[in-house]
Structure 1
């Protein structure tokens, strides 16, 4: 009995420990991590962080006249709303769209808090130069792009923030460019002044734009080439002006030019080596008064000379030395006074040429005939007679192997395959 009582007492003592054996269980000490899987700390994702712009605290503030989408808290859409004044701009806004309204004046009070702006679009309004507060576009230190085309501006608004890279001022009423207009714009890479009334660019107003790569002054009233272009320039557009002469050494300090567009001017002659530029790929001198051809640089790929006064094309001047590195692939010569194709020497000088377009030529004095010169390459003629029923046949086989001659008793499977 004594033994039985002792066993019962021992069972009562051990029972609570058995029931609570998992309390305070240390899993980390009993199970080692898988040695084949390296430890990785937890990743905390921040979906709204933009590492390219200053961090802006979240805010739901938005001008009541506009729309700020929840998915893009830094953007404010105020376009196509018949606005006549600029609404107050919250400090968080980076992209401001005000195009297609009826705004005439820009008050600096609207931009007093707009220190984070990166892009402003004021196109298709009624902006007037005398109603834009001085310095209104210089308040934001992060502004990269400003679009002011299709307004009633008579001058370039200044000053503009030195951080700006692209300025669009096309389709206004600007008639001159003063030196102070572009003062301090050391980061501008693109300037668009097309479709204005510019007849004068004062001094070297463009020379301090040391990062400028694209300059558009098409459809204006220039009578001379703009002075002091920076060496960084890659694309120059001067179409539809009244320029009659290019100074002899004008492009000597512009080695990075890849495209020059000067069609629809009054240029009568250019020096022989005017366009001898190492990177020039496109040259458009169509619709001028040129009579004498010039040297074609090795890098040039597209040359447009339509609607000039060429009677002959001297290949020796274009290409004094035959060189397999010549890259010209396209030449346009329609609406000149040519009476026949250029010399076949052209195909030796320009081994990569793919197309020479002659089109119709102008009538010369006393000539009643309009000359039509066959194009190069000539159009392909049918090679298989009038009944060419094998349109579905692979083109590469036609050109390399000629027409199929069908044989009734041989290899039917071969014909079925094609």
Structure 2
């Protein structure tokens, strides 16, 4: 956490700025399925658990065995590249291979046969293929006892494959057709830290129960671009980042985050929130809160640790700083450094007390605000003298 905060302090500009320019497309995201925007400030980086390249011990001679359809570079002896080769099936994987890159092909099925000898595999990338759930064998990954990273994004999967290795740390299932998380498929994934389910067809009924609560190591959950109408239930206490952008979530229950007290980043932009409970975001470690593109109009409590707040494209007519910051403590000041409030219905400048409540504020992006729609009057009839012809007003109406 110390390094992360130092990163923010280095990138923030000195001095308070109120920015009034209006920029379109200001929220940058890796999921271009919906209209998003480029952030004006550096965002908290995704809490992605990455695996350092495994080049092996250069003093140990590795066999040069490689599937004839693929490429095994001499400088990276533990990897096999089979991507962009129009493959219809997974070739047999040699025993020494630890990293298999077989994305961007035409593979529909996964069987256990190619992995019989590949017990050293740590990473498999099967993204951008044509995988179908009905053609994925239940025991396809059973023997892969060291597998850490599995990428199955951009396929035609309708459910999470069963019997995944318990060692798995990252599972990417974005851009599929998954509507339900079965307890059977998610059971035993106690080591999973990152779960990507963006751009699927998940519904509230599809993730009910304690499907996710058993994942005690889970830190990052992304469910953007789905069909959720409410917040997912029974999340594990280990969650640090929750991304639910572009769903149809209409409310957040009071006390919802009591089970996830360590949350650092929450993104619920592009939903249907009209109001939230006053203290619902009172989390001691929350640093980023994105509520842009909703229908919020009432202020809520801002936790002390929060640094980045996005309220753009809502219905605020004023920002009640007294409600956002009900008390001042000079020994423990609020850490808010950036707030975005453009495209609301604000009609005046920000209350000066905001700078007292948030002494570390650096940028207030005010931008352009929504204009009240002008009422259009129905066309009036002009008296016509006897013998006058009807007048065409040029707007589709004929005035007598």
Shared fold per TM-score greater than 0.5: yes
Q: Which runs of 5+ in 2 are unaligned?
A: 1-54, 377-400
Report what 1:352 is aligned to.
Answer: 360
Aligned with 1:118 (options 109, 119, 122): 122
Aligned with 1:313 (options 319, 340, 343): 319
How far apart, CA to CA, are the structure 1 residues paired with 2:77 and 2:93?
Answer: 13
CA contact (8 A) 1:56 1:92 kept: no
What secondary structure does 1:252 align onto? Answer: helix
Q: Larger RCO: Structure 1 or Structure 2 (Cα < 8 Å, ≥ 6 residues apart)? A: 2
Pairs within 5 Å for 1:266-415? 266-324=272-330, 325-364=333-372
Report what 1:161 is aligned to.
Answer: 165
Per-residue CA deviation, residues 338-364 of structure 1 (Å, 9 max, x unaligned), is 111221010111011111111111123
Q: CA deviation at 1:124?
A: 0.6
Report what 1:264 is aligned to.
Answer: 270
CA contact (8 A) 1:218 1:240 kept: yes
CA contact (8 A) 1:94 1:119 kept: yes
How far apart, CA to CA, are the structure 2 residues paired with 1:202 and 1:272?
Answer: 26
Per-residue CA deviation, residues 246-300 of structure 1 (Å, 9 max, x unaligned), is 1111101211111000000001111111101011100000011111110101100
Spell out structure 1 runs of 4+ moving beyond 6 A: none
1:212 aligns with 2:218: yes
1:127 aligns with 2:131: yes
CA contact (8 A) 1:83 1:102 kept: yes
How far apart, CA to CA, are the structure 1 residues paired with 2:338 and 2:101?
Answer: 41
CA contact (8 A) 2:56 2:77 kept: no
> Structure 1-normalised TM-score?
0.74
Per-residue CA deviation, residues 216-250 of structure 1 (Å, 9 max, x unaligned), is 00011101111111111100100000000111111
How far apart, CA to CA, are the structure 2 residues paired with 1:311 and 1:204?
Answer: 40
Q: Which runs of 5+ in 1 are unaligned?
A: 1-46, 369-418
Report what 2:97 is aligned to.
Answer: 93
Pairs within 5 Å for 1:156-195? 156-195=160-199
Using a 3 Å threshold, how does the CA distance of structure 1 residues 273 and 48 change in structure 2: closer, same or farther? closer
Kindly report the root-mean-square deviation, in angstroms, between the aligned alpha carbons of the 2 structures: 1.7
- Structure number with the higher helix fraction is 1
Per-residue CA deviation, residues 201-227 of structure 1 (Å, 9 max, x unaligned), is 131211011000000000111011111
Per-residue CA deviation, residues 129-157 of structure 1 (Å, 9 max, x unaligned), is 10111121232110000001011111111
How far apart, CA to CA, are the structure 2 residues paired with 1:331 and 1:107?
Answer: 50
Q: CA deviation at 1:58?
A: 2.8
